[in-house]
Amino acid sequence: MSELSPSERSLRARLAAHALHACRDSREVTAPARAAFLNRFQDQVDPDRLLSPQERARRAEQARKAHFTRLALQSARTRRTRSVGGRR
């Protein structure tokens, strides 16, 4: 197979994703990844599984919220920097 340009690789990946989701439920396809992502926060707050399941879930939810708030803050800073620099 010949070398593909970045845009061709992107189109090929998009085609594959559309074909997959045309045949299967998107939630079913991504369920294992979502579960692993959420489990990451439980591992972060209680790696030895010493807390009760309810407390672990509560803390994991707070860790998840902190993660997304951190991303939002980083995004806001980046947008502000780009806006001040006139590259917007």
pLDDT at res. 84 = 82
Which pLDDT value is given to residue 2? 75
pTM value is 0.70
| Measured distance CA(40)–CA(32) in Å, rounded | 12
Q: How confident is the model at residue 60 (pLDDT cuts 50, 70, 90)?
A: very high
Q: What is the pLDDT of residue 42?
A: 98
Q: Which residues of 44-82 are buried (b: 16+ CB within 10 A; e: fewer)?
A: ebbeeeeeeeeebbebbeebbeeeeeeeeeeeeeeeeee
User: Tens digit of pLDDT for each residue in 1-56?
Assistant: 579 999 999 999 999 999 999 999 999 999 999 999 999 999 999 999 999 999 99
Short-list 40, 32, 34, 31, CA closest to 59: 40
Determine the average pLDDT of the residues in 76-82: 94
Q: Do residues 46 and 59 touch, judged by C-beta distance below 8 A?
A: yes
| Rounded-to-integer distance, Cα 36 and Cα 84, Å | 38
